[in-house]
Amino acid sequence: MNTWELNALDLKPRLPEILSSTEAARVIVLDLAEGESLSDHEVHERAWLVVIDGAIEATAAGERVSGGAGLLIEFAPGERHEVIASSAARLLLLLTPWPGSGHPGAMSIREKLYSRRHAAKRAR
């Protein structure tokens, strides 16, 4: 068994700490200072975001939600979303499975090479 006192961790803003990482999931905790954000992005995995402390505002698929400690948000794989700290906030992020389908960490060397070549062609 592993345990963590999430409110007692000595974190620096915008420097996430990976608490656990297996093929089943990755668990990350991070602090955002008031006004800081996880800009509009998407991940390959299903993502659950839990507000441990503070307050956030999240936007996804045209919906907006705000809340404080205890708020749980689930994002589908590939769902674009943004998270903004309305006050200093500590967040727990669970990504599953890890790495998700299409994540560079889950790709073979051949798939990575193809992906890089394809991206380079699009950039031209």
Q: Is residue 115 part of a domain?
A: yes
DSSP character string of 2-23:
----GGG---BTTB-EEEEE-S
User: pTM for the full model?
Assistant: 0.76
Q: Is residue 35 part of a domain?
A: yes
Q: Is residue 111 part of a domain?
A: yes
Q: Read off the CATH number of the domain in which 100 is found.
A: 2.60.120.10
pLDDT digits (tens, 9 = 90+) for 6-17: 999 999 866 899
Burial of 95 (0-12, 13-18, 19+ CB in 10 A): buried
CA distances from 43 to 47, 92, 99, 106 (A): 8, 15, 10, 13
Q: Is residue 6 part of a domain?
A: no
Q: In total, how many domains does the chain have?
A: 1
pLDDT digits (tens, 9 = 90+) for 64-107: 999 999 999 999 998 999 999 999 999 999 998 866 565 555 55
Confidence of residue 108 (pLDDT cuts 50, 70, 90): low
Q: Token pair of 69, please?
A: 């400690």
| pLDDT value of residue 13 | 67
